[in-house]
Amino acid sequence: MKILIAEDTRAIAAVMAARLPALGHETSVAENGRVAVDRFRESPPDLVLMDIEMPVMNGFEATNLIRAHEATQSWAWTPIIFLTASDTPENLVTAIEAGGDDFMSKSVPEVVLQAKMKAMARIADVRQRLAAANRKLEEQANRDGLTGLANRRHMDLMVGLHWAEAQRRGAPFALLMLDVDHFKKYNDRHGHQRGDDCLRAVAAAIASTVETANAEGVTAAAFAARYGGEEFCVVLPEASAPAYASVAAAIVDAVRRLGIEHPDNADWGVVTVSVGGARIEAGGGELAPLFRSADARLYAAKRDGRNRACID
């Protein structure tokens, strides 16, 4: 386990820091409550051993701040054991109210220390597995089950955050709306299973194009999402006008080069996409009209023959 020891008495801190590694644990020492809180925020431990009386900030105040910080994080709770030379009922009540979980004497016998650390290690293991499961569930909740792209709910959340940042900084903001050309005809001819395979392939091509643009520095925080049905959206925060145009053209090219046969897409014979885009140069205005503008250009791209991007 990673154990944070908050203790201002150097001799006691040195003893604890020597005893715990002998039991297989990694330790760090904070000389007061304020330092302990800062260390906790920088690198959350599996367990905190917290002295009560310390300079600058005592253990009760530090524990309150740690619990307040945890409330803002996806991981919810870290065990905190108070180190004390006096386990009075008053101290016990104050410790529990501050968010502590247990008391331990600074001169705790070795056998008791080992037993407590074994119990805390089991808790740490459960916390890690629970955190991993929660991360997986959160990721699944944010992903479209068919394509693996961000789903509409997550897209709306991320668009809102990026839009607010663009407004704050006066930065550019762009988005692309995409639609698979004549997809209903593809489904009618090949069936829904092939239709799903087609959407997965198109989504992968879009995602790969966006990832390449981010990796090469053409864009910074661009991401793709499934908007609904055969419609997709690519959000391009802070994209320059050339980057915005380049990504739109690259997506059209990437999907066409998949070479998925589509006889009912008469002019092309393979699966293609139409793309409509909208962009503002600096913060200002509202987000909804940007989506409407991109959608209008998407239909213009279809009207002009499909397999193309129509952007401002």
Q: What is the CATH number of the domain that holds 233?
A: 3.30.70.270
Considering the domain architecture, whether residues 163 and 235 belong to the same structural domain is answered as yes
Q: Which of 104, 139, 174 is the last residue of a domain?
A: 139
Q: What per-residue confidence (pLDDT) applies to 169?
A: 86
* Residues 176, 310: Cα–Cα separation, whole Å: 10
Q: What per-residue confidence (pLDDT) applies to 74?
A: 62
Count of CB atoms within 10 A of residue 259's CB?
10
Q: What per-residue confidence (pLDDT) applies to 302?
A: 95
Domain annotation covers residue 250:
yes
Number of domains in the chain: 2
Domain annotation covers residue 230:
yes
Q: Which of 139, 170, 188 is the last residue of a domain?
A: 139
Which region, left, alpha or beta, applies to residue 129 given φ > 0 means left and ψ of -120 to 50 means alpha? alpha
* Residues 15, 110: Cα–Cα separation, whole Å: 12
* Residues 158, 66: Cα–Cα separation, whole Å: 28
Q: What per-residue confidence (pLDDT) applies to 207?
A: 97
3-state secondary structure 67-133: HHHHCCCCCCCCCEEEEECCCCHHHHHHHHHHCCCEEEECCCCHHHHHHHHHHHHHHHHHHHHHHHH
Q: What per-residue confidence (pLDDT) applies to 75?
A: 61
Residue with tokens 């980057």: 243
312 contacts 278 by C-beta, under 8 angstroms: yes
Buried b (16+ CB within 10 A) or exposed e, 227-244: beebbbbbbbbbbeeebb
Domain annotation covers residue 145:
no
* Residues 76, 127: Cα–Cα separation, whole Å: 9
pTM summary value: 0.62
Edge-to-edge order in the sheet of strand 26-30: 26-30, 2-6, 47-51, 80-84, 102-105
Domain annotation covers residue 146:
no
Q: Residue 46, SS3? A: coil
Q: What tens-digit pLDDT sequence spans the chain (312 residues)?
A: 899 999 888 888 888 888 888 888 999 999 999 999 999 999 889 999 999 889 999 998 999 999 888 887 766 688 999 887 766 677 677 777 777 888 887 888 888 888 888 888 888 888 777 777 766 666 667 899 999 999 999 999 999 999 988 988 889 999 999 999 999 999 999 999 999 999 999 999 999 999 999 999 999 899 999 999 999 999 999 999 999 999 999 999 999 999 999 999 988 999 999 999 999 987 667 889 999 999 999 999 999 999 999 997
Considering the domain architecture, whether residues 221 and 302 belong to the same structural domain is answered as yes
Domain that holds residue 167: 152-310
Q: What per-residue confidence (pLDDT) applies to 95?
A: 73
Give me the phi and psi of 82, to 5 degrees please.
-80, 135
Domain annotation covers residue 72:
yes
Give the bridge partners for 161, in sequence order.
none
Task: Say how many residues make up the chain.
Answer: 312
Considering the domain architecture, whether residues 101 and 173 belong to the same structural domain is answered as no
Considering the domain architecture, whether residues 167 and 293 belong to the same structural domain is answered as yes
* Residues 232, 175: Cα–Cα separation, whole Å: 11
